[in-house]
Amino acid sequence: MTTRTEPGEDQSDPGLSAIMSERRRLINLGYRLLGSLADAEDVVQETYTRWYAMSAREQQAVESPGAWLVTVASRICLNMLGSARARRETYVGDWIPEPLPEPTEWITGRSGAGGVDPADRVTLDESVTMAFLVVLDAMTPAERVAFVLHDVFRYPFGEVAEIVGRSPAACRQLASSARRRIPGAQSPAGPGAGQAGIVRQFRTAWEAKDIDALIGLLDPDAVATADGGGLAVTHLHPIVGGERIARAYAEIARVSGDRTTFLECTVNGLPGLVTRQDGNLSTVFAFEIVGDRIRQIWAVRNPEKLRPWRID
């Protein structure tokens, strides 16, 4: 399997520098496959543990260390995706992928220390919008791995087959099946003034508890989904319908009163909102906007998924 070089990577050093230069690629791969930065970090740690568990002779026998790391990380992700389905059966409420802020807002590492290592950043593009990740999460583990490796990271099916453990033809079919799910989940590339303006209008109407204005901004068939994971109070089932969402959100604003502050931000590369309650970050909101209406709202309240966020 060949390895692909990202801008700024120095592949001239075959030792430690070359191995560690793969970290950002692995973080990006793990997040897209698992929808969780914390899990992606665990995958990278396990991948490097396996590399350094080999003897120097075994390492030297690896023709392409970068390809070896990607293969191992992908297989770990594949196993984790299988076990994640079982864990979701006991998850409280709906599970939403972990939202990502702009890199300048990230808190690096589990200790919460400031300062972002570029190697720990996920590249924000159309393949990490919340709408895209939610569709990925609905795929089978094999579909997701085959699709992400081929369509997002541009690995040929022969190499994908080595990772997934199926024939190239089977991997091609897996990716094709996955691709058929994607068109309806594609959001326009880039934040765009139009989308940011709609989110700003939503924020203003929500703060004012203006139900009519909220209804005007929401698609009649809009869906609002929340993820508290049993660790934060939220609605356990999706709210369906623009009017129902508007009334529910107006009630949330009424109950929270002056304790809640609304802030505009970037969530997974697109305009979003965060709320702070009593000065502490409480919820991250991602939106899917089609035309001039909000079609989907994802509200993440599970504090374990808000670890990368720092809003001053």
| Per-residue model confidence (pLDDT) at position 298 | 98
**Residues paired with 265 in a beta bridge:** 272
Residues 116 and 151 in one domain: yes
Task: Give the whole-angstrom CA distance, residue 108 versus residue 98.
Answer: 15
Task: Give the whole-angstrom CA distance, residue 301 versus residue 236.
Answer: 12
The model's pTM is 0.86
Mean pLDDT by 10 residues, the chain (312 residues): 42 63 93 94 96 94 93 96 85 94 58 50 83 93 96 95 95 94 58 83 96 98 97 94 98 89 93 92 96 96 90 61
Residue 229 lies in a domain: yes
Residue 11 lies in a domain: no
Of 153, 185, 217, the residue at which a domain comes to its end is 185
Residues 133 and 252 in one domain: no
Of 131, 157, 185, the residue at which a domain comes to its end is 185
| Per-residue model confidence (pLDDT) at position 5 | 42
Task: Give the whole-angstrom CA distance, residue 298 versus residue 231.
Answer: 17
Residues 165 and 256 in one domain: no
Residues 97 and 221 in one domain: no
Residues 161 and 253 in one domain: no
Residue 10 lies in a domain: no
Q: What are phi and psi of 262, to 5 degrees?
A: -105, 130
Of 185, 216, 231, the residue at which a domain comes to its end is 185
Residue 276 lies in a domain: yes
Residue 2 lies in a domain: no
Closest CA to 268 of 187, 200, 202, 149: 187
| Per-residue model confidence (pLDDT) at position 74 | 97
Residues 169 and 203 in one domain: no
CATH number for position 51 = 1.20.140.160
Residues 68 and 133 in one domain: yes
Domain total in the chain = 2
Residue 206 lies in a domain: yes
Long-range contacts formed by 259-267: CB under 8 A, 24+ apart: 262/203, 262/206, 262/207, 263/311, 264/196, 264/199, 264/200, 264/203, 265/101, 265/102, 265/105, 265/311, 266/101, 266/102, 266/124, 266/191, 267/99, 267/100, 267/101, 267/130
Residue 4 lies in a domain: no
Q: In which domain, by residue range, is 44 found?
A: 16-185
Residues 205 and 221 in one domain: yes
Residues 37 and 141 in one domain: yes
Residues 103 and 198 in one domain: no
Residue 126 lies in a domain: yes
Residues 224 and 78 in one domain: no
The count of C-alpha atoms lying within 13 angstroms of the C-alpha of 31, restricted to the half-sphere facing its C-beta, is: 25
CATH number for position 197 = 3.10.450.50
* Maximum alpha-carbon separation in the chain: 69
Residues 209 and 147 in one domain: no
